[in-house]
Each structure stands twice: as structure tokens, then as C-alpha cells.
Structure 1
Amino acid sequence: MFTSLFVFQANKLRTKTLHNTLNPVWSETLTYYGITDEDMVRKTLR
């Protein structure tokens, strides 16, 4: 018998906190795993 194991990471990601700056620059790339095309249409990025 073949068993498939899928590991999904959390779908809540956060950018790093930038301390002591008046001009923050966010240049991070966040990667979401396990998101389907249907999820991309239905969900909202907040």
C-alpha cells in the first residue's frame, strides 16, 4: 500500500518587525504552501 504524506505550513505569515526607523522598507518575499487556485480567488491577503 502506498501512503502519501503532505506537510502544509501555516497560512499565516508575518513580515519582520523593523525597530527604530522612521522610513521602514519591507522587501521580504513570503511563500505560501498548499494554496490552491480556488483559495487564491476566495481568500484575501491582509
Structure 2
Amino acid sequence: MLACTRLDEILLHQHELNQHEASVDQIQLKLKRMQVRLALTIPMEK
């Protein structure tokens, strides 16, 4: 019984970690897009 609840906890944490990693990936993608946009707009201003 105890081992079973322990496993449930581990699986829950694993799920939360996976969701966190997915959101981190999304943030990194957004940052890359912003950097690309900045790189494109800076030369036009000169």
C-alpha cells in the first residue's frame, strides 16, 4: 500500500516536471522569435 502511494507521488511529480519542461520550451521559442524580430528591425532603423 505504502509503495503504491509512493509510486503515485512519483508519477504525479513526473507529470508536473513534463508540463514544466514543455512551458520552458515554449518560453525559449518565444524568446528566439523575439530575437529574430529584433535582428530584423535593427538594420532597418540605421
- Range into which the TM-score falls when normalised by the shorter chain: under 0.3
TM-score (ref. length: structure 1):
0.22
Question: Which structure ranks higher in relative contact order (CA pairs < 8 Å, sequence separation ≥ 6)?
Answer: 1
Higher helix share: 2
TM-score (ref. length: structure 2):
0.22
